[in-house]
Structure 1
Amino acid sequence: MEKYIKLINGDTIPKLGMGTWFLGEKRKTREQEIDALQAGLKAGVALIDTAEMYGNGKSEQLIGEATKPFDREKLYLVSKVYPHNAGRGKISESLEQTLNCPLAQGGNLRKEMQRNPILLKLAEKHGITLMQLLLAFVLQNEHMIAIPRSGKKEHVLENAAVQEVTLSEEDLEALNKAYPVPGTKMPLDIV
């Protein structure tokens, strides 16, 4: 499986990242979250996704602390800005503040996937969890990156291990058949 995706400008970024939505918001889980991010960085997951709206900057502060012992020149930070900061002069200011400073959770999709015999069979075939199978499916697409939430060390390490999984064409066909691209607009269910 390719570990990097090439951008239009020729630069490359890792296909697997660590998401930080809700990280840094609870004092009691702070050390666990820092440990998780550092474990991911040690496992070679060098892309971290954040946003100024994640805990009103607390996620970004947590990332700053977690990445302190690492060579930051080798890390990739993905961020988003509030809509009110999307104007010409505000984006740079918002990004400066950022620099200084989700798998199935909604709807019924998760429950359905946990009972789907095709998914269960494929996960068993590869000796991986259901969530690892779904992550491998996304990462195998040459035009996609995946940024699963990364608040627990064991999940980050499971996610990093997926980079060594290769799904066959037959596996991909089975997954595409089980979950075809929708023909109409529909609400997004977070996986």
Structure 2
Amino acid sequence: MQDAKFTPPLFPIGLGSWHIGDDPEAADHNAQTVRFALDHGVNVLDTAEMYGDGASETVVGRGMAGVDRDKVFLISKFYPWHASARDLPRALEGSLRRLNTDYLDLYLLHWPGQVPLAETIKTLQDLQRQGLIKQYGVSNFDAAAMQELFRVPGGSEVQYNEDLYHLGSRGIEYDLLPWQRQHGVRLIAYSPLAHDWQTRQKITGKETLRAVAKAHGATPFQIMLAWAIRDGQTIAIPESTNPDHVATNIAAAKITLTKQDLAALDHAFPGPTQPEALDVL
């Protein structure tokens, strides 16, 4: 295994896996989709013990089989009620077993819970020293939670926060994103194409988005992805079980939006003008 500080160059569009293990009969196909993504440039895979009660981790692990492990940035997440010194090592052991690997590149607290952050961070540091995880971070943390985290010993070593972020959900731009940029914490944007069909239709139905997509010879979804990663620091993790969709998502990384594009999208999808409650799924 590489040194704990080693991080492969990260492709800005990864692969999410929330529902990728829900259908046992589709497990082979979904594992092949994971492998397709890895074979075509994706090197960030995101999963969690919550997804399918571990089934998604199993499918991701199957998709990784035979791939050079050091070239994959593997993320998993643990339940808040597994965040204690007693339960967290066992939760990690289960995830590693299902993923068929001996370490994670990034291990995230899935959302804030009742276990003291100081206890969770200390346990994560212990797991890091053992070589079982390279980095640790959080998910679904708002600005206040991140500030609390940074007051805990070791909390300032967190380099990633995974939150919902897309053209129709920009609330984190008001306070969370500026704070993270100031403190060197990268955003992992989950559901960058929106989660439900109704929201997606509302977003992609906007003429402005369609016009920008047409100008780039792209789809509205590709523009949504290009927008999400526009700062060069954000990693977007759209979920897909369709290799064709994965290929389309990968191609979005090559799209560079102009200042005029961004201004038009800002007008059609205004950013926040006051603090907003964190949007979560």
| TM-score, normalised relative to structure 2 | 0.60
Q: Which residue among 149, 154, 159 is the counterpart of 2:249?
A: 159
Q: Which residue among 237, 245, 266 is the counterpart of 1:176?
A: 266
For residues 197 and 248 of structure 2, what CA distance do their matches in structure 1 show?
A: 24
Pair 1:143–1:180, CA change in 2 (3 A): farther
For residues 205 and 261 of structure 2, what CA distance do their matches in structure 1 show?
A: 18
**After the TM superposition, which residues 88-127 of structure 1 pair with which residues of structure 2 at under 5 Å, given as runs?**
88-101=85-98, 102=191, 103-106=193-196, 108-127=198-217
Query: Cα deviations across residues 7-42 of structure 1 (Å, max 9, x unaligned)?
Result: xx8955332110000111212222221121111101
Once the two structures are TM-superposed, the CA of residue 120 in structure 1 deviates from its matched residue by 0.4
For residues 32 and 140 of structure 1, what CA distance do their matches in structure 2 show?
A: 31
Give structure 1 stretches of 5+ with no counterpart.
1-8
Are 1:188 and 2:279 counterparts? Answer: yes
Residues 119, 130 of structure 1: 8 Å contact kept: yes
Percent of aligned pairs with the same amino acid: 32
Once the two structures are TM-superposed, the CA of residue 179 in structure 1 deviates from its matched residue by 1.4
User: Rg bigger for which structure?
Assistant: 2
Indicate the residue corresponding to 2:12 in structure 1: 15
Q: Which residue among 224, 231, 237 is the counterpart of 1:147?
A: 237
For residues 262 and 54 of structure 2, what CA distance do their matches in structure 1 show?
A: 38
Once the two structures are TM-superposed, the CA of residue 153 in structure 1 deviates from its matched residue by 0.8
Give structure 2 stretches of 5+ with no counterpart.
99-190
For residues 37 and 28 of structure 1, what CA distance do their matches in structure 2 show?
A: 16
For residues 240 and 210 of structure 2, what CA distance do their matches in structure 1 show?
A: 23
Once the two structures are TM-superposed, the CA of residue 189 in structure 1 deviates from its matched residue by 7.4
Indicate the residue corresponding to 2:34 in structure 1: 37
For residues 210 and 40 of structure 2, what CA distance do their matches in structure 1 show?
A: 26
More helix by share: 1
CA RMSD of aligned residues (A): 2.1
Count of residues paired in the alignment: 182
Once the two structures are TM-superposed, the CA of residue 139 in structure 1 deviates from its matched residue by 1.3
Are 1:75 and 2:75 counterparts? Answer: no
SS state at 2:252 partner? helix
Query: Cα deviations across residues 54-90 of structure 1 (Å, max 9, x unaligned)?
Result: 0111111111111002111110111111111112343
| TM-score, normalised relative to structure 1 | 0.86
Are 1:86 and 2:176 counterparts? Answer: no
For residues 241 and 270 of structure 2, what CA distance do their matches in structure 1 show?
A: 30
